[in-house]
Amino acid sequence: MSQEELASQLETHFEKQLPFVIYSKPGAAKLQVIFQEDKKLNTTSTYEEEGFVFAPFDSNQPGILIKGKPTEIIVSSAAVEFNSVEKTIETKDADQHIALVEKAIETITDSDLKKVVLSRKQNLSIEASSPVPLFFRLNQKYPTAFTYLWHHPEVGTWLGATPETLLALKGQRLETMALAGTQSYSGSTDVVWGLKEQEEQQMVTDEIASKLAGFDFKSFRVHDRETYRAGGLLHLRTKITGNLAPTENPLKALLSALHPTPAVCGLPRDLAKSFINEHESYDRGFYTGFLGEINQLQDHSKRRTRRNVENLAYKTVKKTSELYVNLRCMQFKPQMASLYVGGGITAGSDAKQEWQETVNKAQTIASIL
Domain ranges across the chain: 3-78+124-261+284-299+313-328
Q: Which CATH class is domain 3-78+124-261+284-299+313-328?
A: alpha beta
Please measure the distance between the N-terminal and C-terminal CA atoms of the chain and give it in whole angstroms: 25
Please state, in angstroms and as integers, the Cα–Cα distance from residue 290 to each residue in 296, 312, 321, 358, following that order. Answer: 17, 36, 12, 20
The reported pLDDT for the residue numbered 82 is 55
What is the per-residue pLDDT for 85?
A: 47
Question: For each of the chain's 369 residues, which pLDDT tens digit applies?
Answer: 889 999 999 999 999 999 999 999 999 989 999 999 999 999 999 999 999 999 999 999 999 999 999 999 988 755 555 555 455 566 678 999 999 999 999 999 999 999 999 999 999 999 999 999 999 999 999 999 999 999 999 999 999 999 999 999 999 999 999 998 889 899 999 999 999 899 989 989 999 999 999 999 999 999 999 999 987 889 999 999 999 998 877 999 999 999 999 989 999 999 999 999 999 989 999 999 999 999 998 775 655 555 555 554 555 778 999 999 999 999 999 999 999 999 999 999 999 999 999 988 888 888 898
pLDDT at 335: 92
Q: Give the model's pLDDT for residue 231.
A: 79
| Number of other residues whose CB lies within 10 A of the CB of residue 89 | 17
Query: What's the CA gap between 118 and 245, in Å, rounded?
Result: 36
pLDDT at 87: 57
Contact criterion met (CB below 8 Å) for 344 and 180: yes
- Give the model's pLDDT for residue 304: 54
- pTM comes to 0.91
pLDDT at 78: 54
So what's the pLDDT on residue 301?
61
According to DSSP, the β-strands at 156-162 and 329-333 are antiparallel
Q: Are 236 and 193 in contact (CB under 8 A)?
A: yes
Overall size of the chain counted in residues:
369
At 205 the pLDDT is 95
Q: Is 111 exposed, middle or buried (0-12, 13-18, 19+ CB in 10 A)?
A: exposed
Q: What pLDDT is attached to residue 306?
A: 57
User: Residue 318: its pLDDT value, please?
Assistant: 85
